[in-house]
Structures are given as C-alpha cells and as structure tokens.
Structure 1
Amino acid sequence: MAKLAIIGGTGLTSLKGLEIVKREVSHTPYGEPSGPLVHGELAGNEVMFLPRHGSGHTIPPHKINYRANLWALRENGAEKVIAVNAIGGIRADLTPGRLAFPDQIIDYTWSRVNTYFEEGLTHVTHIDFTEPYCSELRQLLLEVAEDVGIDAAGEGTYGATQGPRLETRAEIDRLERDGCDMVGMTGMPEAALARELDLCYASIAVVANVAAGRGEGEITMAAIEQHLMSGMESVRRLLETAVPRC
C-alpha cells in the first residue's frame, strides 16, 4: 500500500481518530513547511498529516510555503496525497456543508512560487497537467462516499483565487463564465507541485459558503465555521473508510 498523506485545510487543523506516533520537524531546500509532520495511524493504517495553515491556523493562503509542504511529504515517503480544501459554491448544487471532488482547476493566483523547476536545471522541464487530479484516487473517494452514504458532487472545476479576501460578486460572475463551479484559495500551486513530484493527488473540497452574489447578504465567518463543522464531520467519516483502501 502506498504511503498516504493528508493535508488539512480550514476547519481541519487536526485529525480526529488519528493515533499519533510521532511529530517530526522537517527542513527542506525550500524552507520550512507549515508545521511538524504528524505520523500516526488512522483506521489501523499508517498516514501522515500536515495542517496547511499551521496548527493554529495562522498562515494565510498566499503565505503558505506550498513547495516545502509537498517536498517534506514526499521526502518522508508519501506517494498519495489527499488534500482537504474549503471552497465557496458557485454552481447551484454546491450548497454549504456538501463535499465535492474537483476534476479540473483554473489558476487565478499571482506572485506565488509555483514550481520546483526554475533554478539549476540541465534542461527546461514541462509537466502534463491536462488532468490535474489523480483519477485513481478521485475515483476511490467517489466510491467511498457512495458506500458510506455521503452526499458529494463527483466533479467540478475549482477556481483558485489569491485571497486572503473573499471575492466580489463580479469576480464570481467572471469565474462562472470561465466555467468554474467552485472557488477556493489553496488549490494552486499545490496541485501542480504535487504533479511535479509525481504524487498521486486528489482534493476533498468542502463547501463553506455560497460564493459572493449567490446568496443573500454578506458572507460571515460565523456561518462559514458552522458549515465547515458539519462538512468536516463528513470528511472524517469519508477518510475513516477511504484510508484503508488507499
């Protein structure tokens, strides 16, 4: 069985049910990861866990050291990565608390260091990113969601925005015209870096709110936290069954 790593996002800074074996501080050529790697067992299977925003949720999306995070996981043996991402729902069926497994992504971020292939190269390197998520791992997550009765959207295009502010109504209108079904701030460059490292990478996206202009009134952090609480319970149930099958 390939060694599995889980990257926790907003609402998942720790993993309930994870029996911790050790915490390990990693140093990489690209700086420090978001925090120590947590090694443990979930549902009787070895996993690594890394909170993307730090254990205290203090690192904003545009300041995350994505290169260090993925490098540290790979150097510690990870071959598969399940990333948990909080999103805003653009498509009507992506309602708060629901899960989705995106199959495409559009990158609207800027100024983030987004590749390992930039210095000391013997040749210019390009990666195929036609299908940005690992189809094998996505399919497994889909099957498990069906098996355990979790309502989830099986596909969708993730629009990755810079943050940390939320988007304007006009920006969401633009994303929808571009074909985006959901919006988030942490999907890129994480997915591309995983591909550069040959990691099998898939996302469990949790709808934290309806995107700007798709609901009534302002988007509040109180509402986001409430929706994430119910969504993350579904994530934990999904992982408990998925991890032994990865």
Structure 2
Amino acid sequence: MIAKYRLLALDMDGTLLNDEQLITPETEKWIKKAVEAGVHVCLSTGRAFRSALPYAEQLGLQTPMVTVNGSEVWRAPHELYRRSLMDPVLVTQMYEIAQQYGIWFWAYSLDEVHKRDNWDGNVEGREWLKFGYQTEDDDIRHKLLLQLQDMGGLEITNSSPYNLEINPLGVNKAAGIREVCKLLGIDMSQVVAVGDSLNDLSVIQQAGLGVAMGNAQKTVKQEADVVVASNNKDGIAEVIQKYILAEAKIITAATVAVK
C-alpha cells in the first residue's frame, strides 16, 4: 500500500491524548496500522522530551520527535538532532512580568520544569527552552500578550485558551516538522499535521493536510483543512482511516489499474 501522506505529525495534549492523559486502545490500534502501512508517526508537542517519551514507547515509535514546541528536534528517541535555547536575559524579564501580575508561570530548562512554587532564581546557571504563563483573567492575559510582543524576539503561542507559551522567535512546530521532513527525505506536502491549540497553528497551516480536532480552539478550526472528532472520541483514528489509509488505497488501486 502506497500512502500519499508519509508523515503524521501529532500534537499530544488535547489531540493524541484524551482528557485522562491516555491514548485510547482504538487510537493506538489505528496508529499502528498507519505505521504498518509505511507512514512515519511523529509526536509534535509542547511537552519536554521526558514527558513525551513514555507515549512514544507505548506506540513503539522509533521515528523523529519534536518537543517543547520545536525547541528540540530528535532524530529518534534519545538521539538529539537540534536544540534551540532561549536567552537567559529574556527568561529573567519574563519572570519579572509574572511577578508584576502575580500569575502562575513555568519555565523549561534542560533539567526540569521551574514553577512559581520551586523557582530558585538561578537563571544564568541553566539552559532554557520555553517559558509559559497561566491565567483565566482575560484582561491580564491580553496585557501580558501586548507586553511580550513589545519585547520582540519571541514566538508566542498557547496550548490552552488560558495560557501563553513563549519560545525563541522562529522556533515552532512547523520549523521542527520541516527539519523532520529533511531527515526523512520527504516534503511538507506529504505531511498530515493534527492539533488543537495555537502552538499547532503554524504546522497545520503549512502541512499538506492540516487537521483540527473537534475540541480545537476556534482559530485552529478556521485555519485547518478538515475538522475531525474530539480527543475524547478518537479523532486521530478518524484522521488515519479517512485521510491517510483511505488515500493510500486509492493510490494503490490507481497504480494497479495503470499496470
């Protein structure tokens, strides 16, 4: 079976995982069918590598991974290909903004996730990948967004309607998946990218087929080529059945007819 789409790029939270943080048996079954059909399945997540790895292992994936919204690209699990670090000066500035508003924040360094309740102030002594804020106060979040935009040099997205996630400018899932395509010798037109939040938007816009989950944020649904069922109703299984394996059968049938 020849697949039109060669790479399935999967966001994790709100996409691959249901609300209980699990891959359902149905979704796992269809991912394995896609792999058997020769499709590369790549986890493309805002999570850190160590948080994403158990799910890659559950699915038996040995393919590249994109973690921390594109700050890291892995040639294969445990084999780092590229890492983009954030300027510690920016981390300090973003920490001070969190203090100014008194809101919850987190920052990913190479060794751990630093939050408001375990922040030790050692910014210069670490290598940083991502910073994030969480607040359900729309007014504060809007002011925060404007302040971050004024700083410049930042890629600002979210992984839920109530947070903001910040990476270095140019570091995003689309850039990460482009590097994965080079590693695999394929084109972005051969990619199906699936997600639910603004940190998925760049890759959904640039992939051959951009897919929004049924639970996706409004902007993501508007920009996607198709919308499937939610993360709690096996939307990924639908993607694979309708848009990957069905396309592969059509191509196979056409090839046989030509022969």
- Smaller-chain TM-score bracket: 0.3 to 0.5
> What TM-score do you get using the length of structure 1 for normalisation?
0.34
Higher helix share: 2
> What TM-score do you get using the length of structure 2 for normalisation?
0.33
